[in-house]
Amino acid sequence: MSNIGSTADPGGNGSHHGHFTPPRSDASSNNGMPDPSPGLLGTTALPSNATSPKNEATDPEKNLDPMASRTEGGVEYKSMAWWQAGMVMVAETISLGILSLPKAMSDVGVIPGLMLLLCLGAMASYTGFVIGQFKLRYPHIHSFGCAGEILFGIWGKRILGWGQFAFYVFIMGSHILTFSIMMNAITGHGACTIIWMVVGTILSLLFTLPRTLKHLSYYSIASFISIIGAVMITMIGVSITKPGMVNGVIAPRLWPRPGLTFFAGFNAVSNMVFAYAGHVAFFTFISELRDPRDFPKALAFLQCSDISMYIITAVVVYYYAGNNVASPALDSASTVVKKIAYGVALPTIVIAGVVNAHVGVKFLYVKLLHNRDDDLMHQKGWKSYRIWLLMVSLSWLGAWLIAEAVPVFGDLLSLTSALFASWFTFGLSGMFWLHMNRVSEWCNWSFGKRVLFVVNVLNVVVALVLFGVGTWASIYSMVKNGASTRPFSCANNAGGH
């Protein structure tokens, strides 16, 4: 922990990269914001001096970007290269979601499952790109709260800001729950499940102590290797034991299972949506890039990684584990293989939750401190750090309470996906594009741009359906499972026990 709050910047001028002055000539016609005048994808060409270093004292962007330091020798947040951002994004996104996909595919069938994973992946790639363009248009954005203010005013800022933070806490809770499942699986329920959740909470809290994402990028490399290793071990294990074999035959369903209820099918879809639900942190990741225009590289690295891993894992594990495949997927392997896989998955179970916690706490931290005249947010002293420590501690406490209150892995992911991922991954990105493109100029749009208009309206509609129906389906499932699974229980929650 000696790296806490350090400001390593190999380039020596990390605070200057990626800054540009947004066009101001017609800001008055757009409520004080620069006129988008977007092209086909809702983008605007950056000024020719976009990469030119500027003197901090005369750079107006310093007054806009809350992550840009005004303190000499202070904490430098804008320090990530694109590959570091890509690793953090992979660690945040490819974690718990992938463990629910084989079970989801067993519900909906291989063909609908593949179609859903591909379509959702394509949608997530596009909506992520739109988020990057919206950030470039409005450099002061650090969170969905800032973006909400541009779309809907002060109430948009409040609702989306606190909604984003609640989403993080729910995800943190799911990681605590998975930590307890892992420890019960490895130790054979060697202690009360509540104890394992407390241990997971404390461990995660300790790893959330550094204040810059650059430090988490190194943890994220371990997380990426961890989840790949755990999934590979599980796939090899189930391919050897073939728990899905019936009378010497492996027969995966190509279509939805017989008797699949509507709420169960929709929960499966919600779990697939959750697997792509990394967008909620994108504004923060871009804010800590040296050059924000490198974000598409990081996004491409993420999407190529997650789409390919999701499809391979879902198909292979379901094919060999059969129709009784477990969620998390690691529970589908034999006892010995399961223990090994969970042991290998430990880094990603902890670190992916830590990345989400960091971004969630950073939202509160920036909200509280960035407008102070003394630039306390960028200072290295105990005064600023104890505020960070307090926020981290309270956030993990809230996550622990959620993990105890919703003790079923699949239900917690479905509820989180329906309430939050529906909007942060799909719906709001559609609204960003519509904000950057004046519908009143429809007659002057090209055919391609009109197609994109339909795509973005569809993103908003998809979010509405996922939010409304998904919330009902997940709550219905929670009530049903509540008859056998109690909150704040010492009972073993590992599968196959």
3-state DSSP assignment of residue 246: strand
Instruction: Output the pLDDT for position 11.
Output: 35
CATH pick for 87-481 out of 1.10.4160.10, 1.10.3720.10, 1.10.10.10, 3.30.70.360: 1.10.4160.10
Instruction: Output the pLDDT for position 325.
Output: 85
Instruction: Output the pLDDT for position 9.
Output: 37
Alpha-carbon gap, residue 118 to 116, rounded angstroms: 5
Instruction: Output the pLDDT for position 88.
Output: 85
Instruction: Output the pLDDT for position 150.
Output: 92
DSSP for residue 45: P
Alpha-carbon gap, residue 27 to 307, rounded angstroms: 40
R_g of the chain computed on alpha carbons: 23
**Local confidence pLDDT in tens for the 497 residues of the chain:** 433 333 333 333 333 333 333 333 333 333 333 334 344 444 443 433 333 333 333 344 444 667 666 656 566 777 788 998 888 888 878 876 788 899 899 999 999 999 999 999 999 999 999 999 999 999 888 889 889 999 999 999 999 988 889 888 888 988 898 899 889 888 888 888 889 999 999 999 999 988 877 777 778 888 888 888 988 998 998 888 888 777 777 778 889 888 888 878 888 888 898 889 889 889 988 988 888 899 999 999 999 999 999 999 999 999 988 887 887 788 888 888 888 988 898 988 898 889 889 888 988 888 888 776 666 776 777 887 889 999 999 999 999 998 888 766 667 777 777 888 889 999 999 999 999 987 878 888 889 899 999 999 999 999 999 898 888 887 887 777 665 566 777 888 776 55
| DSSP letter for each residue of 436-496 | HS-GGGGGG--HHHHHHHHHHHHHHHHHHHHHHHHHHHHHHHHHHHTTT--SS--S--STT
Instruction: Output the pLDDT for position 483.
Output: 56
- The alpha carbon of residue 357 and the mean position of all alpha carbons in its chain are separated, in whole angstroms, by 10
Instruction: Output the pLDDT for position 143.
Output: 87
Comparing CA positions, the residue from 326, 348, 347 lying closest to residue 335 is 326
Instruction: Output the pLDDT for position 495.
Output: 63
Q: How many helices (H) and strands (E) does the chain have?
A: 15, 0
